[in-house]
Structure 1
Amino acid sequence: MINNEVLSIILGGGQGSRLYPLTADRSKPAVPIAGKYRLVDIPISNCINSSIKRMYVLTQFNSASLNQHIKNTYHFSFFSSAFVDVLAAEQTMHSDKWFQGTADAVRQSMHHFLQNDFKYALILSGDQLYNMDLEDMIEKHKKSNAEISIATYPVSAKDATGFGLLKTDDENVITSFIEKPDSELLPDWTSEVSDDMKKEGRNYLASMGIYIFNRDLLIELMNNPDTIDFGKEIIPQSIHKHKTLSYQYEGYWTDIGTIESFFEANLGLTEDIPKFNLYDDNRVYTRARILPTSKISGTLLNKTVIADGCIIHAAKIEKSVIGIRSRIGENSTVLNTYMMGNDSYESLKNIEKNKIENLLGIGDRCYINNCIVDKNCRIGDDVKIEGGKHLKDTETESYLIKDGIVVIKKGATIDKGTIIK
């Protein structure tokens, strides 16, 4: 069975500086998405949907909230070997360094992996949005007697320079690989893709950073401490020595690496038929919260996703994702916004006792456009935020502007009457 043959290793990424301030006090896999999930729920759910139920998540920055989320979410039967464990970078007798790269993270954690019986190591990224049949990828790896498999994604010339590109033979065996080539080299790196991909001009095969390694080969490769990264070193050095298969994937996939890509991926969920479709049999699992239904009064809603437990009195919400326990006051307008919601409710008794002026959520008569509102924020009455390309990148104590997107920092207070435009 797949479950007994495969061990999944989910790479939590580095400091996540390009996703700052969302990663100011949480690791990249713990960043909330789609109003109720965390990024790490995506690779874990892909594994569970593919009958892979032994997983390690590797992280080293701000891992407390990730630990808490996984502890509270992924519970399997007492009679099952299934688990999801977080492995944070640790000092040992053999190493006192932080993870230096993707391969080094796996190398430093190998003593944990080898306590398990497995034939294949499936290595995934913790900051990608996709729905893939990983079981099919594993079966093709086994059938072809490959030693390494790489999930690949057809991309256009515009995007190709940002990825590791590869070429294959007629049997999908990888023959050459180049990491982030210059644009003048691209004519030599076109690959055979489906007719649908050709019509879209997606003629280059990019590595998705999803790998399968045979157990013995992974152990052998990890014995070389000089190689610290899979994409830059392990893969280029291995393709001519070990049979390496390309598994071509043409569904929705995006790398959540920047504030802009994170923002677009979340707002994309509001489309009539979103590219990343949460409304099918490929479930995304997350923490089971006992929350009331959302309550909406007098609000015009259009292309909007609303999570559980919200109290909304807004005038209008359009093309927005509203997260758990969100509160939006009367006569407010929210456009093109991802509001992550709150970790708890604010009781009326507490509000009166402490004379709280700025309540959790968005106040009355606000106008919010092109904005990310992180968890537990307090936006006072009559606040106007007009994000857009006209705004220069800047940072204050309570918010950051990046690529025209206004990001309200976690737990920040925006005083009533504030104008950002």
Structure 2
Amino acid sequence: MEITAMIMKDVLGLIMGGGRGTRLYPLTKKRSKPAVPLAGKYRLIDVPISNCLHSGIDKISILTQFNSVSLHRHIFQTYRRDMFTNGWVQIWAAEQTPDSTGWYQGTADAVRQQMVEIKNSGIKYVLVLAGDHLYRMDYRKFVQYHVDTKADITLAVQPVNGLEAPELGILKRSPDGEITSFIEKPDPESLHDLESSPGSEKPFMASMGIYVFSTDLLAELLATPGDDFGKDIIPQALSNHRVMGHIFDGYWADIGTIRRFYEVNLELAANPIFNLNLPNQPVYTNARFLPPTDVQGASLKKTLLAEGCSIAEAKITNSVIGIRSKIGSQVVIRDTIMMGADYYETDEHHAENRRLGRPDIGVGDGSIIEAAILDKKARIGRNVHIRFLPDRPDSETDQWAIRDGLVVVPKSAIIPDGTVI
């Protein structure tokens, strides 16, 4: 059966807005995971929404509950549909109802609490997506596979090696594509029973946290106990439903930790396996109408540079420089993610900064920044040195933290002149 544009319009894209995001803290101190900036100008949520729009899915809902204000603002500012469009991009926030009085308890429980809205949308298929992954997928092929194989449930799966497998949900996939077993984060001892392609470089199949169900079956499955798809619903369904695995072998990154967030961003700058520059498949984001970046004598190498920046005579290597970043003279930035700012400071702002004795937003003259993540609106003074020290233990102060060996300066933090970290 051929998937037509009309059938894809009968698919709801349901994106998980994430919980507390503790593994991405302190980037999630004031925002939800999907709202975390990516590649200097995007947010993580832009990836699944863009994939949906390119795949012909025009009904998209995001399930949110924790630190969701900035995410809501971004969605409303970016994804506005006009009155002549049948589709929509909606926020479905956790709420108290006569049937539910608590927060979402997991991915499956979040969907369960919104089943009334899902049924009211009148769609046939529900495509469940994560809000913190980087990949480019044509969901039409995914839904086509689901229909062609007469599946009850279909999972997107990716081949992985034995080192990656213990951190992921691993499934056993038969030659015809059917999933026969599924274990979330299996012990290394049990991996030999889960090989789907014995002898290959990547013998294991990992769940990408992407599922497609018919609406009726989804309602039936969620009528039984279980708060999480990977831990509860999918393993329970294997015994009496046809669960298929659709192989996706393109680039995919689960950006669930500070270290992985850092690595993925620098990969985009230094060796971009994931191509952001595809004219026919752009990653959509807020159209900010920023001016061109102003570079005055700086040296940039392997750097992803967003628009609206002002850079003096600095030396920047293997880094991501986000929107509206301001970098002073004689600054050295290496192996660093600088997220930029949400607004430009005016003369009045600068006068207030002087009165309060705090640096302007950006990186001040003479500072050296190595292996760091500078969140939005961070104020780095003059002659600050953020050093790379291997094997640093995790720690935290009021203005900076160490996570996975990296220095993270949280949103709006202040690092005074001359500070050494």
Cα drift, residue 353 of structure 1: 5.8
- Alignment match of 1:128 (pick from 128, 133, 146): 133
Cα drift, residue 260 of structure 1: 0.3
Cα drift, residue 403 of structure 1: 1.6
Cα drift, residue 354 of structure 1: 5.5
Cα drift, residue 352 of structure 1: 3.3
Whether 1:248 and 2:247 are equivalent positions in the alignment is yes
Partner Cα separation in structure 1 for residue 78 and residue 27 of structure 2: 21
Cα drift, residue 387 of structure 1: 2.5
Contact 2:174 2:196 (C-alpha < 8 Å) held by counterparts: no
Partner Cα separation in structure 2 for residue 19 and residue 134 of structure 1: 27
What residue is the counterpart of 1:360 in the other structure? 361
For normalisation by structure 2, the TM-score amounts to: 0.95
Amino acid at match of 1:258: T
**Distance change in 2, residues 1:42/1:388 (3 Å):** farther
What residue is the counterpart of 1:234 in the other structure? 233
What residue is the counterpart of 1:213 in the other structure? 213
Partner Cα separation in structure 1 for residue 110 and residue 71 of structure 2: 17
What residue is the counterpart of 2:285 in the other structure? 286
Aligned pairs for 1:81-96 (under 5 A) are 81-96=86-101
Partner Cα separation in structure 1 for residue 151 and residue 353 of structure 2: 64
What residue is the counterpart of 1:395 in the other structure? 396
Contact 2:173 2:205 (C-alpha < 8 Å) held by counterparts: no
Amino acid at match of 1:22: L
- Alignment match of 1:155 (pick from 128, 147, 160): 160
**Distance change in 2, residues 1:250/1:70 (3 Å):** same
What residue is the counterpart of 1:119 in the other structure? 124
What residue is the counterpart of 1:37 in the other structure? 42
Decide which moves more: 345-354 or 261-270.
345-354
Contact 2:314 2:327 (C-alpha < 8 Å) held by counterparts: no
Partner Cα separation in structure 2 for residue 5 and residue 102 of structure 1: 22
Partner Cα separation in structure 2 for residue 116 and residue 66 of structure 1: 23
- Alignment match of 1:275 (pick from 273, 276, 279): 273
Amino acid at match of 2:415: I
Partner Cα separation in structure 1 for residue 22 and residue 174 of structure 2: 38
Partner Cα separation in structure 2 for residue 43 and residue 398 of structure 1: 32
Contact 1:3 1:54 (C-alpha < 8 Å) held by counterparts: no
What SS does structure 2 have at the residue aligned with 1:65? helix
What residue is the counterpart of 2:387 in the other structure? 386
What residue is the counterpart of 2:3 in the other structure? none
Query: 1:75-107: per-residue Cα shift (whole Å, max 9, x none)?
Result: 123111211111111111111111111100000
Whether 1:49 and 2:67 are equivalent positions in the alignment is no
Contact 1:329 1:362 (C-alpha < 8 Å) held by counterparts: yes
Cα drift, residue 348 of structure 1: 2.6
What residue is the counterpart of 1:222 in the other structure? 222
Tell me the number of residue pairs that the alignment of Structure 1 and Structure 2 aligns. 413
Whether 1:9 and 2:14 are equivalent positions in the alignment is yes
Segments of 4+ moved more than 6 angstroms: none
Contact 2:55 2:140 (C-alpha < 8 Å) held by counterparts: yes
Decide which moves more: 211-220 or 2-11.
2-11
What residue is the counterpart of 2:301 in the other structure? 302
Q: Which runs of 5+ in 2 are unaligned?
A: 1-5
Partner Cα separation in structure 1 for residue 348 and residue 97 of structure 2: 50
Q: Which runs of 5+ in 1 are unaligned?
A: none
Partner Cα separation in structure 1 for residue 108 and residue 263 of structure 2: 30
Partner Cα separation in structure 2 for residue 209 and residue 12 of structure 1: 13
**Distance change in 2, residues 1:327/1:229 (3 Å):** same
- Alignment match of 1:171 (pick from 176, 180, 194): 176
Cα drift, residue 180 of structure 1: 1.8
For normalisation by structure 1, the TM-score amounts to: 0.95
Decide which moves more: 363-372 or 169-178.
169-178
Partner Cα separation in structure 1 for residue 340 and residue 329 of structure 2: 17
Partner Cα separation in structure 1 for residue 346 and residue 418 of structure 2: 24
What residue is the counterpart of 2:68 in the other structure? 63
What SS does structure 2 have at the residue aligned with 1:355? helix
Contact 1:331 1:366 (C-alpha < 8 Å) held by counterparts: yes
Query: 1:120-147: per-residue Cα shift (whole Å, max 9, x none)?
Result: 1000001111111111101111111111
Partner Cα separation in structure 1 for residue 155 and residue 281 of structure 2: 22
Cα drift, residue 229 of structure 1: 0.8
Contact 2:8 2:140 (C-alpha < 8 Å) held by counterparts: no
- RMSD of aligned residue pairs (Cα, Å): 1.4
Contact 2:366 2:383 (C-alpha < 8 Å) held by counterparts: yes
Partner Cα separation in structure 1 for residue 81 and residue 7 of structure 2: 17
What SS does structure 2 have at the residue aligned with 1:47? helix
Cα drift, residue 349 of structure 1: 4.2
Aligned pairs for 1:69-84 (under 5 A) are 69-84=74-89
Partner Cα separation in structure 2 for residue 337 and residue 417 of structure 1: 19
Q: Name the % identity.
A: 48
Partner Cα separation in structure 2 for residue 2 and residue 294 of structure 1: 43
Partner Cα separation in structure 1 for residue 102 and residue 391 of structure 2: 43
Cα drift, residue 417 of structure 1: 0.2
**Distance change in 2, residues 1:305/1:117 (3 Å):** same
What residue is the counterpart of 2:187 in the other structure? 182
Contact 1:59 1:87 (C-alpha < 8 Å) held by counterparts: yes
Cα drift, residue 384 of structure 1: 0.4
Partner Cα separation in structure 1 for residue 339 and residue 242 of structure 2: 44
Contact 1:4 1:117 (C-alpha < 8 Å) held by counterparts: no
Cα drift, residue 391 of structure 1: 2.5
